[in-house]
């Protein structure tokens, strides 16, 4: 094998390894991306579902407009606002478009800086009882699908959005499991 061909093969292996480590970004192109996380949790679907609207208790303050997650609110019912309200302002982060108790919570949302880019985003929390874990286990999947014009360069935006959502998903899982969103 020639040295340039070996290097090219080695680089492809490194790229493939990096991509597999970032498997939470399911797809990304200039006009769309899909990010998904899934975790088995030792809790009933009812317990997991009840934690979702307690967003002020598990979302990190660093990723709010006001700097304080206590200003966030969310009700698990269609038409409800995923809102943030503080002394000098307010923001609608999204709107609930589907709420199926203990099964699905779906929001229409262009999170954070995506809001000003005229993008369409759908954030879905899907809960499935885990047959292997008995009645007290749930597989929680969070999927975020964003689309817009090809000039949006969403493939470049996907990695930082993935980082933020990965952090929030981890905090949600810890909150459900321990009552505290922060890592010990």
Put simply, whether the predicted model's pTM sits higher than 0.95 gets the answer no
Q: What is the domain extent for residue 173?
A: 24-178
Q: Sign of dihedral through CA atoms 174, 175, 179, 184?
A: positive
Tell me, what CATH number does 148's domain have?
Answer: 3.30.530.20
**Helix (H), strand (E), coil (C) string for 94-144:** EEEEEEECCCEEEEEECCHHHHHHCCEEEEEEEEEECHHHHHHCEEEEEEE
Q: Which two tokens stand for residue 40?
A: 């088995």
Pair type for strands 104-109 and 81-86: unpaired
Per-residue pLDDT tens for 50-68? Answer: 999 999 999 999 999 999 9
Flag whether 137 is in a domain.
yes
How many domains does the chain divide into?
1
Per-residue pLDDT tens for 121-177? Answer: 999 999 999 877 566 899 999 999 999 999 999 999 999 999 999 999 999 999 999
> Is the pLDDT assigned to residue 180 strictly greater than 70?
yes
> Is the pLDDT assigned to residue 10 strictly greater than 50?
no
pLDDT at 135: 64
Flag whether 147 is in a domain.
yes
pLDDT at 92: 96
Q: Which helix (H) or strand (E) holds 37?
A: strand 32-41
Flag whether 18 is in a domain.
no
Flag whether 9 is in a domain.
no
């Amino acid at each position: 094998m020639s040295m340039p061909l070996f290097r090219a093969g080695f680089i492809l292996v490194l790229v493939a390894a990096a991509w597999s480590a970032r498997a939470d970004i399911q797809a990304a192109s200039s006009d769309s991306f899909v990010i998904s996380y899934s975790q088995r949790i030792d809790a009933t679907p009812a317990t997991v579902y009840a934690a979702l609207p307690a967003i002020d208790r598990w979302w990190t303050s660093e990723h709010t407009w006001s700097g304080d997650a206590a200003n966030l609110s969310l009700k698990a019912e269609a038409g409800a606002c995923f809102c943030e309200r503080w002394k000098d302002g307010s923001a609608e982060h999204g709107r609930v478009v589907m709420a199926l108790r203990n099964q699905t919570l779906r929001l229409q949302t262009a999170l954070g800086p995506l809001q000003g880019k005229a993008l369409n985003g759908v954030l879905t929390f899907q809960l499935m009882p885990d047959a292997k874990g008995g009645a007290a286990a749930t597989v929680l999947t969070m999927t975020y699908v964003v689309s817009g014009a090809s000039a949006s360069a969403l493939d470049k935006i996907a990695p930082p959005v993935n980082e933020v959502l990965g952090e929030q998903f981890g905090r949600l899982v810890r909150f459900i499991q321990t009552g505290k969103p922060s890592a010990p």
